[in-house]
Chains A and B, each alone.
Chain A
Amino acid sequence: GENVEQHPSTLSVQEGDSAVIKCTYSDSASNYFPWYKQELGKGPQLIIDIRSNVGEKKDQRIAVTLNKTAKHFSLHITETQPEDSAVYFCAATDPTGYSTLTFGKGTMLLVSP
């Protein structure tokens, strides 16, 4: 099955700085890569996703890049704000069976004022 590695496990930045979270996946057949944000005591919420036929996607302060050759994708958050503090998960579709999502272990992002 698919294996997703996520780094770093924790990330501390100052308000206004940029934050980058990186993930690698193992199966070259994976074709869908979402990112989720989880606030304390809540379920994960989709913030951005990218499909394998696209190299980059942006949504205001958030962007995701995908390098299919290296099997690597990243989340970029610019002009971070304290409300960006949360746990972020990357995921990739497991192409065997019904394309269920395999998640990374998560990154705790702390944005200090």
Chain B
Amino acid sequence: NAGVTQTPKFRVLKTGQSMTLLCAQDMNHEYMYWYRQDPGMGLRLIHYSVGEGTTAKGEVPDGYNVSRLKKQNFLLGLESAAPSQTSVYFCASSYRQGSYTFGSGTRLTVV
């Protein structure tokens, strides 16, 4: 099994550009999450989903949008990228109240 797959692995954006990060899981997990990781800040929750067609805000949702049109996919969008969104983004999935399985991350630089 592939587990949780994130694409792309690396990306450089110019300020104001848009992009979508894709997360796919093959474990039939109900819950999916997007976190960002910054030096000294740990992992902070951006948005999450508790099932197909649902989304909810986490701790740091501003500047991001998400969609969960299919159970296995969770998309994170940046409509107008800012340098403050330079980070490593991790997707994760889980059963309800279960342990998370993380992807390998997307390193995004906004210049």
Contacts and interface: CB of A to CB of B under 8 A. Distances in A.
Interface in B48-103: 48, 50, 56, 58-59, 90, 92, 96-97, 99-103
B41 A43 contact: no
A34 B98 CA distance: 10
B100 A34 contact: yes
Nearest to B103: A43
Interface string A81-113: 000000001000100011111111110000000
B22 to A, nearest CB: 15
B36 to A, nearest CB: 11
A100 B42 contact: no
* B interface, size bucket: 20 to 34
A100 B90 contact: no
B99 A100 contact: no
Interface string B4-17: 10000000000000
Given A100-B33, A100-B48, A46 B99 contact: yes
Given A43-B90, A44-B90, A93-B97, A100 B102 contact: no
11 contacts: A6-B42, A34-B99, A34-B100, A36-B100, A41-B105, A43-B104, A46-B100, A98-B31, A100-B33, A101-B100, A105-B40
A42 interface: yes
A43 B48 contact: no
Interface in A37-58: 41-46, 49
B97 A32 contact: yes
B92 to A, nearest CB: 8
B43 interface: yes
Q: Which residue, of A34, A41, A44, A49, has the highest number of chain B Cβ atoms within 10 A?
A: A44
B108 interface: no
Nearest to A1: B59
Contacts of A89: 42-43
Nearest to B54: A98
Contacts of B96: 98-99
